[in-house]
């Protein structure tokens, strides 16, 4: 790594981390001022609020603003270098624009890797902390006690089951039934008054069970006060709330997508879109880094203000493209993976056009 690379990379990373930390502090203060009354009603101590809420809120807000502030940071420090005519001297010495962009690309890949690693495990766990606190202390109504839903799902290739009522907090449900279909006939039927997750045995405890088996010998009926069964679903698979997608780690999210596809659930697109964005968003960090560098390395009338104005316009267009593609996927027939990558594809072409137009 040459002196030029170290200089630009140092400017890049220091500006970014300063910006993201400063904005995170401001966002935390604003959030604290808005939720002061809620925190007071919760009766928790300052330490409990920090551990049970802000340990989740801070990674969440940093991840949400990460691509935006990579872009703004690049524009800010590059524009300052351009105003000091540093790039004029660098280009005049025979260094090409492609060579100048190398440390930007390296820094973008580094930050994209950090964001990708965060999406794998850290950010979902932070979202789980924030969501648990929100549902327990900040929300009112039925969601405050945990959502209660009815479920109907496919257990395996031949079996289907349903729960007429299930509480995600107590992990207790009522009106459970399961049927196995062979050909055009029901070969097995099980009904239970209640179903509850047994945390000690890691299986489901059924009470008031009526079991029917139908075969060539006829129909056999048996009653059991209590039985324990293992099914392909666990309590985490029955958890439905506004934070369900964000609070699952990437392996858990992949497993949930497979399970929901087996069930034929309507939430498959939303889950797949979330999974696709966890890959496409880090790549957008690299693209926005290159766009910011190419835009701001030219000294123009208006200086940093004009560079920043163009950056805001590009960010706005990027966000609009992302939102439109997401809506077309979740509400229409567009493949979620294609929808997640459409903004990246468009702005990759924009990056190539800007590069060709820039002085070499």
- What's the pLDDT tens digit per position in 172-202? 888 898 888 887 788 888 999 999 988 888 8
The length of the chain, given as a count of residues: 360
N- to C-terminal Cα distance for the chain? 21
Q: Are 101 and 290 in contact (CB under 8 A)?
A: yes
pLDDT of residue 241: 60
Higher pLDDT, 257 or 1: 257
User: What value does the CA radius of gyration of the chain take, rounded to a whole number of Å?
Assistant: 27
Domain assignments of the chain as residue spans, ordered by start: 3-140+268-357, 148-239
* pTM, two decimal places: 0.73
Mean pLDDT over 340-345 rounds to 89
Dist. CA 328–CA 322, nearest whole Å: 10
CA distances from 207 to 4, 197, 223, 293, 300 (A): 71, 12, 10, 65, 76
pLDDT of residue 144: 44
Q: Are 189 and 212 in contact (CB under 8 A)?
A: yes
- Evaluate if residue 261 carries a pLDDT over 50: yes
């Amino acid at each position: 790594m040459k002196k030029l690379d170290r200089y630009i990379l140092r400017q890049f990373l220091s500006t970014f981390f300063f910006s993201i930390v400063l904005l995170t502090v401001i966002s935390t203060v604003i959030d604290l001022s808005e939720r002061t009354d809620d925190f007071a009603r919760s009766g928790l101590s300052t330490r409990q609020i920090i551990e049970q809420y802000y340990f989740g809120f801070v990674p969440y807000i940093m991840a949400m603003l990460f691509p935006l502030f990579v872009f703004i940071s690049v524009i800010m420090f590059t524009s300052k270098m351009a105003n000091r005519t540093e790039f004029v001297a660098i280009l005049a010495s025979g260094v090409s624009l492609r060579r100048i962009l190398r440390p930007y690309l390296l820094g973008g890949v580094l930050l994209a890797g950090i964001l990708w690693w965060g999406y794998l495990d850290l950010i979902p766990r932070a979202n789980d902390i924030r969501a648990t606190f929100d549902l327990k202390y900040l929300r009112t109504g039925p969601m405050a006690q945990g959502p209660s839903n009815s479920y109907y799902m496919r257990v395996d290739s031949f079996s289907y089951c349903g729960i007429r009522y299930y509480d995600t907090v107590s992990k207790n449900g009522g009106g459970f039934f399961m049927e196995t279909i062979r050909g055009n006939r029901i070969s097995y039927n099980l009904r239970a008054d209640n179903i509850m997750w047994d945390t000690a045995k890691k299986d489901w405890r059924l009470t008031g069970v009526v079991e029917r088996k139908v075969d060539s010998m006829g129909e056999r009926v048996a009653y059991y006060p209590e039985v324990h069964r293992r099914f392909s679903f666990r309590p985490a698979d029955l958890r439905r709330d506004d934070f369900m997608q964000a609070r699952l780690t990437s392996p858990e999210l992949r497993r949930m997508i497979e399970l929901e596809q087996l069930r034929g659930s309507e939430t498959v697109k939303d889950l797949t879109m979330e999974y696709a964005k966890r890959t496409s968003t880090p790549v957008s960090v690299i693209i926005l880094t290159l766009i910011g560098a190419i835009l701001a390395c030219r000294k123009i009338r208006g200086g940093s203000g004009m560079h920043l104005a163009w950056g805001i316009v590009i960010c706005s267009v990027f966000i609009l493209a992302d939102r439109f593609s997401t809506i077309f996927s979740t509400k229409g027939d567009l493949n979620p993976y294609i929808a997640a990558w459409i903004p990246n594809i468009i702005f990759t072409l924009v990056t190539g056009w800007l590069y060709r137009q820039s002085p070499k």
